[in-house]
Structure 1
């Protein structure tokens, strides 16, 4: 592996903090600007997180990690952390995430049952004023990614006045539906890639963006995954299990729950289409757009039952299909 200046900095930091960087091996890239390395130590495997110029991200990681651990969620222990340097050495919870396990045919039920237990624990431990709010401004900023990056940049279209009017109306409805839900601690990317098969199961990672927001958000992230979809009957069964566990834990749920899940899903899937297009064109990661058809299929299903979103659905249906950027 070719070293760069930053990697040499990380290696020197490890030496200064009592670690031998000789075994440092790069892990696969993710959607962020952070890098991860696997490191062998006398105490076992560790993961090195390299987040240059991301002091706030590192501080958020440490803060949310403490909250999740206190809630009874399995998160990596931290051996060393230097937020100013942007380097952490954390526990290695294993190399198999839920996505890999599901794709190779492992039974979904025990994996998802464990994930739902962790989710309910996290939500039930919500404390006021500890995390920032997932408010209307944040939700709108996320929705804005769709016309900016997917419609204009990826499809090369310039929406007309009527399109923008319909879009603004739909955004208002989706944001109102989200902010009217009971608000709980939200991981914000509680999906198969961020759940590791471990003991206890699951190990939860990539939680530094947590906020307090709509109660259905993490459930949608889990069951309508960016890279894997469940048969409708299985999804309904998991929703029923979640609902029973959440109510038993005293977590307030919106009524009707199915509609809240659908409209939350629509907001998230429009956002992620925008993010994936941005990753393709700004960050030179075109493979993310390979999964765009899954999101468009989710959106068609989520919007179909609700006449108020017929205009948005027609707009989406009218968009051309374009392959991922080569």
Structure 2
């Protein structure tokens, strides 16, 4: 079987980018890798996505969701060429101005960038979504239990199967009651400052470039809002979080009385899942820098658990999950 470099060369030979210079781009937590291609004659650039199927990657969902988002007037990258058999895409280069990097240079733009992020969600939720699997209470409660399977287990040595089962049962009921949407929308599920690009030369919601949306499903309108405002990788000021929730509710006409409990419950679900995912990345994939993000995720979870909507599980979780002390975090790095 041909190696990846030979397959890439063959893929590019069938495009206008066969003679392009190639340079690696930063990857993500997946098995995908990226390169920036530069045309030596024109200086024009594109991005190569290398997503090996043998490692469980599949570019077809990315293609489908990108086409949907672009059809809705949003700035997902244009797809110049694709090879779904071997897992290659040639994409429009949306640049390097991730929200997170822009805000390091220009913290004065924080409000403007988050407003633009909210406007993308409002525009996306105004259109009928494609046919996708549902991010439903059964799946969400099991994914939240990764906090037991990976985080708790990694720290104390066991997941406490009895308490885990009790949590899943209670949390599923809670999600069914407080976070089942009347009208499901497309949720990108990883909508945060490291996956959003600032494109100020464009207008309206198109000013935000979108990445890492291939795992999109149907879910509650609050889910991507939580992803954006309860960011595992950067501190979002409470005043920004409050203002952006207000902006979202105003733009979408959401019922505030029902929306705020759903926001807290979905925040807890997401942060519990991330605790487990980051612990797994540290223990099983040799990526200890994700463990360093766990204290922020823990703080976000505690904030969510303070909401009355989480009363059915808050005491259980606080008793069952160990705090991310320096010693406990070190245990997650030593596996």
Distance 1:45 1:146, change over 3 A: same
Distance 1:235 1:83, change over 3 A: same
Maintained 8 Å contact 1:72/1:118? no
* Aligned-partner Cα distance in 2 for 1:25–1:186: 31
Maintained 8 Å contact 2:149/2:159? no
* Aligned-partner Cα distance in 1 for 2:14–2:160: 58
Distance 1:238 1:16, change over 3 A: same
Maintained 8 Å contact 2:141/2:269? no
* Aligned-partner Cα distance in 1 for 2:27–2:212: 13
Using the size of structure 2 for normalisation, the TM-score is 0.87
2:221 to 215, 225, 230: 215
Distance 1:174 1:23, change over 3 A: farther
Q: Secondary structure, in 3 states, of the residue corresponding to 2:295?
A: helix
Query: Which piece of structure 1 moves more, 112-121 or 137-146?
Result: 137-146
Q: Secondary structure, in 3 states, of the residue corresponding to 1:26?
A: strand
Aligned-pair CA distance for 1:319: 3.8
Given the alignment of the two structures, is residue 44 of structure 1 paired with residue 52 of structure 2, yes or no?
no
Task: Tell me the C-alpha RMSD between the 2 structures.
Answer: 2.3
Other-structure match for 2:26: 28
* Aligned-partner Cα distance in 2 for 1:317–1:84: 42
* Aligned-partner Cα distance in 2 for 1:211–1:160: 30
Given the alignment of the two structures, is residue 130 of structure 1 paired with residue 131 of structure 2, yes or no?
yes
Q: Which runs of 5+ in 2 are unaligned?
A: none
* Aligned-partner Cα distance in 1 for 2:93–2:79: 10
Aligned-pair CA distance for 1:141: 3.3
* Aligned-partner Cα distance in 1 for 2:263–2:45: 38
User: Any idea what the Cα deviations from partners look like across 1:37-63, whole Å, max 9, x if unmatched?
Assistant: 000124711000001117873111111
* Aligned-partner Cα distance in 2 for 1:82–1:188: 25
Pairing 1:240-251 to 2, within 5 Å after superposition:
240-247=246-253
Given the alignment of the two structures, is residue 315 of structure 1 paired with residue 332 of structure 2, yes or no?
no
Given the alignment of the two structures, is residue 204 of structure 1 paired with residue 210 of structure 2, yes or no?
yes
Q: Secondary structure, in 3 states, of the residue corresponding to 1:255?
A: helix
Corresponding pairs, count: 317
Other-structure match for 2:163: 163
Query: Which piece of structure 1 moves more, 77-86 or 135-144?
Result: 135-144
* Aligned-partner Cα distance in 1 for 2:281–2:160: 25
* Aligned-partner Cα distance in 2 for 1:159–1:61: 34
Distance 1:160 1:313, change over 3 A: closer
Aligned-pair CA distance for 1:126: 2.5
Given the alignment of the two structures, is residue 193 of structure 1 paired with residue 194 of structure 2, yes or no?
yes
Using the size of structure 1 for normalisation, the TM-score is 0.89
* Aligned-partner Cα distance in 2 for 1:37–1:320: 36
User: Any idea what the Cα deviations from partners look like across 1:15-72, whole Å, max 9, x if unmatched?
Assistant: 2333235511111121111000000124711000001117873111111111111111
Aligned-pair CA distance for 1:320: 5.4
Aligned-pair CA distance for 1:219: 0.3
Q: Secondary structure, in 3 states, of the residue corresponding to 1:207?
A: coil
Other-structure match for 2:242: 236
Pairing 1:269-284 to 2, within 5 Å after superposition:
269-284=271-286
Aligned-pair CA distance for 1:172: 2.1
* Aligned-partner Cα distance in 2 for 1:286–1:130: 37
Other-structure match for 2:119: 117
Q: Secondary structure, in 3 states, of the residue corresponding to 2:123?
A: helix
* Aligned-partner Cα distance in 2 for 1:158–1:80: 47
Distance 1:45 1:51, change over 3 A: same
Q: Secondary structure, in 3 states, of the residue corresponding to 1:88?
A: strand
* Aligned-partner Cα distance in 2 for 1:293–1:316: 17
Aligned-pair CA distance for 1:169: 4.3
Aligned-pair CA distance for 1:261: 0.8
* Aligned-partner Cα distance in 1 for 2:58–2:3: 21
Other-structure match for 1:72: 73
